[in-house]
Amino acid sequence: MSNPKVLIFAPADPTGETHRWLEEAGCDLVLGQASWKTPLGDNESDMCAMAKDADALLGTSIRSTPISGRIMASAPNLRIVAKASIGVDDVDVDAATKQGVLVIYSPVESSWGGVAENTMAIILVFMKRMRERDEAMKRGEWRVPALQGVYLGRREDGYPGITIGLVGFGRTARRLVDLLAPWRVRILAYDPYVEPSRFILSNVKRVDLPTLLKESDIVSLHVALTEETRGMIGTKEFDLMKKAAILINTSRGKVIKENELIQALQDDKIAGAGLDVFDDEPPAPDSPLTRLGHKVLLAPHMSSANWGSGLQSDGVRNATRTVLTALRGEVPDYVFNREVIPRWQTRFGGHSLLNK
């Protein structure tokens, strides 16, 4: 029996630790060109050639060449596509399900918790004018009235505090609620797929999307990219928001109609945007977003990247463990397309390809 073949289409383990796990289990590895630092990798034809007869595909985000049905069809005995990230929007999940392939995501706490922390930091940078104050000091200015910040929480004197609206109420949004608790802000959330008790337990008011947009001073997006959420925020939604509102997106760039966001910022329909994700990644150097000054706070899709956590440790280890589990003929945790499990078990269940 030949060794199982694993294509690591977007490596994200500079230590090589998880590669050794696979090799010690008897796997042959093929490494693609994409990496954690850049989502730009091999083209589809090259990916098909590399994936030929593979038993598993593994990697982090790969924007330039998503894992297509054609790529997966190059590997008739493919068992699993394992992502080291939370999102699977760069995998054709429908094609995987038709082929009987498990698609795995990695919702490790160090990643989604890091995103929540990063969102909190963006809120404070905007509300407390930290960039502007720093620059003023370096220009020799002192206590300029325009540098006053916003007091976040309600006070005993009757000040109600700001309202923060969370679009999506999964793990990341709920952790952000925990971080916001001491600040005593009013929190709204919209998520039609989360049971009402979750909102009650978190002391969050459940509302529809238009209400959230109209009433929030900060709107923060925490949704997976699906056909339903693709382009869900555009001109119509910006028209509902307060002119002083800040939009934060640490989920996926294509949730926002980016050109319409740029226009809304240029027209002062909203006051600012904090973006860790973009329509195309990396965005073009001449993107209008880079010329909007303090209206925008931009980051290179690194909310989950923190020393000792994130994709380069927990996420990669999780994805690698799921590959080893599938190659042993067992169903791993974190299956995204769970409807495929019965068919997968009939085909691969109990049939191990590993030497240990």
Q: What are the residue numbers of the active site?
A: 252, 281, 301
Give dist(CA 96, CA 298) in Å, integer. Answer: 34
CA dihedral 303, 258, 252, 103 (to 10 degrees): -150
Percent helix, strand and coil across the chain, each to the nearest 5: 40, 15, 45
On whether the CB atoms of residues 31 and 54 are closer than 8 A, the answer is: no
Instruction: Say which DSSP state 310 is in.
Output: G
Largest Cα–Cα separation, the chain: 75
Give dist(CA 286, CA 301) in Å, integer. Answer: 18
How far from chain centre, in Å, is Cα 40? Answer: 17
Burial (CB count <10 Å: 0-12, 13-18, 19+), residue 15: exposed
Three-state secondary structure call for residue 280? coil
Closest CA to 94 of 69, 61, 57, 60: 69
On whether the CB atoms of residues 353 and 327 are closer than 8 A, the answer is: yes
